[in-house]
C-alpha cells in the first residue's frame, strides 16, 4: 500500500497486483482485535481506513454492511 506505513504482515497483493489489507479466512481484517473490535495498527492504518473515525457511526455502519450475512 504505497505511501502507507502498514506493517507488511497485515497486507497482501490482490489479483491485480495492488496492495490491500490482508483478510483472515472468515473475511475479517487481520489488523482487527476481535476482543475489543479496535484496530491494532490504528496510528499506522492505511489512508483508506482514515476516512472513518474508529467506532463512529459511519465506521459501525460500514462494518454492518460488510459483515452482514448474505
Query: Predicted confidence band at 61 (pLDDT cuts at 50, 70, 90)?
Result: confident
**What would the pLDDT profile of 17-27 be if each residue is shown by its tens digit?**
888 899 998 88
pTM above 0.85, yes or no: no
- Judge whether residue 55 has pLDDT over 60: yes
Could you give the angle at the alpha carbon of 59 between the alpha carbons of 2 and 3, nearest 5°?
Answer: 10
Instruction: Please give the share of the chain, as a percent, with pLDDT higher than 90.
Output: 20
For residue 31, the model assigns a pLDDT of 94
Give the E-state strand segments of the chain in sequence order: 11-13, 19-21, 32-33, 38-39
For residue 40, the model assigns a pLDDT of 93
Amino acid at each position: 500500500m504505497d505511501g502507507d506505513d502498514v506493517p507488511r504482515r497485515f497486507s497482501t497483493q490482490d489479483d491485480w497486483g495492488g496492495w490491500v489489507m490482508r483478510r483472515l479466512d472468515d473475511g475479517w481484517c487481520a489488523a482487527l482485535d476481535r476482543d475489543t473490535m479496535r484496530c491494532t495498527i490504528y496510528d499506522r492504518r492505511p489512508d483508506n481506513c482514515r476516512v472513518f473515525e474508529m467506532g463512529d457511526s459511519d465506521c459501525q455502519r460500514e462494518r454492518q454492511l460488510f459483515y452482514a450475512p448474505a
